[in-house]
């Protein structure tokens, strides 16, 4: 049973999630209010062309179609693509007889709340102190970069927080349910991958693979992001522990096999359908690298500071706290792929920076600044030193990877 403290923390999360979702909806409510008599607010405020595409997919699903066509071209085509998310949204509109745009926003709000809750659940793998987890929610839900301080910041070269909604959690919640569904699936993919690494259970592997299978259909190229980061993480673990983690590698390959069909099907359509290929090949050049650093602003600076703090007290190890180097590995793995063709829809994977930066910041800076006290004492069982951080709730030992804090519950990147 959930104790009183756990219920209080859960309620805190849902209250904040609802508040953030409501706050993100204010521009739409304002648009409804401003519409003069005889006019209708269409319910979209930014990136309207993409919104129109999503509504067309919902319309086709609501009309009973499983496969969807590109309705914004006169080129002949055969309907081959489908998207599970928009199938669900369209059929929900068909059953409830609600307007498509209202269903669009209901799912946006619902996925926004689910995203905040998922981030909280994910953070429990790293943050043992409930006060840290409580602080994480408004931090990850409302933080942004410093682009507003930079004159003339604009796409595609300016600070990403002022023009790329997918880069910021709050702006993702503000914009559309597609980015949020992709983020939720990414978070839970990493959650079960990390549990798989810790427990070696095939069940966790199957769940992680299923999440990636759905992600491959809903937000295809985010699977590439997850795969690149996870592969680098496993390599780093093997190098730093001087041991080939065959079970982790084998289970990771099983995860990839489960996820493969959805990505393979997207590639199949890309190869045989020129209309689909033309849309996928729309150029999406990466902005200047500095625009990501300014786009994540003080949160990124705080995360890097936390890495330094943990290193100075001897508690930072790559295999123990992959989040600390997660953003670096993320840039290396993902940035070069961005000038290439689009393989899916949107760029919600960049929002994961915020999740890892915030957990890293709270993991390192919070317990040090607020209440950390380091004790080094003999471990009576094996004679190794034991480090206890009061305030962070962690106990780790030099005795091997099975004693690090991520094994007590475990480790997005």
Domain assignments of the chain as residue spans, ordered by start: 25-399
Confidence of residue 413 (pLDDT cuts 50, 70, 90): very low
Q: Tell which wins on pLDDT, 289 or 201.
A: 201
Residue 385 pairs with which residues in a beta bridge?
A: 378
Report d(CA 157, CA 162) in Å as an integer: 11
Instruction: Please name which of 153, 152, 172, 149 lies closest in space to residue 162, comparing C-alpha atoms.
Output: 153
Instruction: Check pLDDT > 60 for residue 409.
Output: no
Residues with Cβ within 8 Å of 306's Cβ and at least 6 positions away in sequence, in order, are 324, 360, 361, 362, 363, 364, 365
Confidence of residue 387 (pLDDT cuts 50, 70, 90): very low
Report d(CA 17, CA 184) in Å as an integer: 14
Instruction: Check pLDDT > 70 for residue 54.
Output: yes
Helices 222-241 + 177-199 axis angle, to 10: 30
**344, 345, 346, 351 alpha-carbon torsion, rounded to 10°:** -60
CB 342 within 8 A of CB 280: yes
Confidence of residue 2 (pLDDT cuts 50, 70, 90): low
Q: Which two tokens stand for residue 56?
A: 């067309």
3-state secondary structure string, 40-97?
CCCCCCCCHHHHHHHHHHHHHHHCCCCCECCCCCCCCCCCCECCHHHHHHHHHHHHHC
Residue 296: per-residue pLDDT: 80
Other CB atoms closer than 10 Å to residue 148's CB: what's the count? 12
Model confidence pLDDT, tens digit, residues 151-191 = 776 666 678 888 888 888 999 999 999 999 999 999 999 99
Q: What is the mean pLDDT of residues 232-253?
A: 91
Q: What is the mean pLDDT of residues 361-385?
A: 41
Residue 27 — φ and ψ, nearest 5°? -60, -35
Report d(CA 142, CA 168) in Å as an integer: 9
Distances (CA, A) of 22 to 17, 108, 112: 9, 11, 10
Residues with Cβ within 8 Å of 10's Cβ and at least 6 positions away in sequence, in order, are 2
Q: Which two tokens stand for residue 90?
A: 């369209």
Write the DSSP symbol of residue 386: E
Residue 234: per-residue pLDDT: 92
CB 206 within 8 A of CB 258: yes
CB 294 within 8 A of CB 147: yes
Residue 26: per-residue pLDDT: 96
Window from 15-29, 33-47, 277-291, 361-375 with minimum mean pLDDT: 361-375
Question: In residues, how long is the chain?
Answer: 413
Query: Residue 34: is the preceding peptide bond cis (ω within 30°)?
Result: no
Model confidence pLDDT, tens digit, residues 77-122 = 899 999 999 999 999 999 999 999 999 999 999 999 999 999 999 9
Residue 81 pairs with which residues in a beta bridge?
A: 68
Instruction: Check pLDDT > 60 for residue 229.
Output: yes
Residue 236: Cβ-neighbour burial (10 angstroms; 0-12, 13-18, 19+): middle
Instruction: Check pLDDT > 70 for residue 391.
Output: no
CB 381 within 8 A of CB 201: no
- Percentage with pLDDT > 90 across the chain: 48
Report d(CA 116, CA 118) in Å as an integer: 5
Average pLDDT, rounded, for the chain: 78
Model confidence pLDDT, tens digit, residues 304-344 = 777 777 777 766 555 444 444 334 334 333 343 333 333 33
């Amino acid at each position: 049973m959930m104790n009183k403290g756990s219920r209080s923390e859960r309620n805190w999360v849902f209250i904040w999630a609802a508040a953030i979702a409501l706050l993100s909806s204010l521009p739409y409510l304002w648009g409804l209010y401003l519409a003069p008599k005889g006019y209708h607010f269409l319910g979209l405020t930014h990136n309207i062309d993409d919104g129109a595409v999503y509504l067309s997919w919902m319309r086709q699903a609501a009309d009973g179609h499983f496969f969807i066509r590109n309705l914004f071209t006169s080129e002949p085509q055969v309907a081959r693509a489908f998207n599970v998310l928009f199938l669900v949204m369209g059929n929900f509109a068909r059953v409830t007889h609600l307007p498509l745009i209202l269903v669009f926003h209901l799912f946006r709000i619902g996925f926004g709340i689910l995203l905040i809750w998922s981030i909280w659940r994910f953070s429990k793998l790293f943050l043992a102190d409930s006060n840290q987890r409580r602080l994480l929610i408004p931090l990850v839900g409302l933080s942004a970069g410093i682009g507003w301080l930079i004159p003339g910041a604009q796409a595609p070269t300016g600070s990403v927080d002022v023009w790329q909604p997918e880069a910021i959690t709050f702006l993702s919640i503000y914009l559309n349910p597609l980015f949020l569904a992709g983020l939720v699936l990414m978070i839970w993919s990493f959650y079960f991958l990390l549990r798989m690494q810790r427990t070696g259970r095939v069940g966790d592997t199957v769940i992680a693979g299923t999440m990636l299978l759905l992600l491959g259909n809903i937000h295809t190229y985010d699977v590439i992001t997850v795969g690149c980061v996870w592969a680098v993480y496993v390599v780093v673990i093997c190098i730093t522990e001087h041991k080939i983690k065959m079970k982790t590698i084998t289970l990771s390959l099983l995860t990839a096999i489960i996820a493969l069909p959805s990505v393979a099907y997207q590639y199949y359509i890309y190869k045989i359908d020129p209309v689909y290929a033309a849309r996928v090949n729309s150029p999406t050049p990466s902005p200047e690298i500095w625009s990501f650093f300014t786009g994540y602003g003080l949160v990124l600076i705080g995360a890097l500071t936390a890495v330094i703090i943990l290193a100075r007290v001897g508690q930072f190890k790559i295999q123990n706290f992959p989040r600390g180097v997660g953003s670096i590995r993320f840039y290396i793995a993902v940035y070069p792929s961005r000038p290439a063709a689009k393989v899916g829809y949107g760029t919600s994977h960049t929002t994961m920076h915020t999740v890892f930066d915030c957990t890293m910041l709270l993991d390192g800076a919070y317990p040090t600044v607020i209440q950390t006290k380091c004790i080094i004492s003999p471990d009576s069982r094996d004679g190794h030193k034991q480090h206890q951080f009061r305030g962070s709730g962690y106990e780790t030992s030099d005795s091997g990877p099975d004693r690090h804090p991520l094994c007590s519950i475990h480790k997005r990147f």
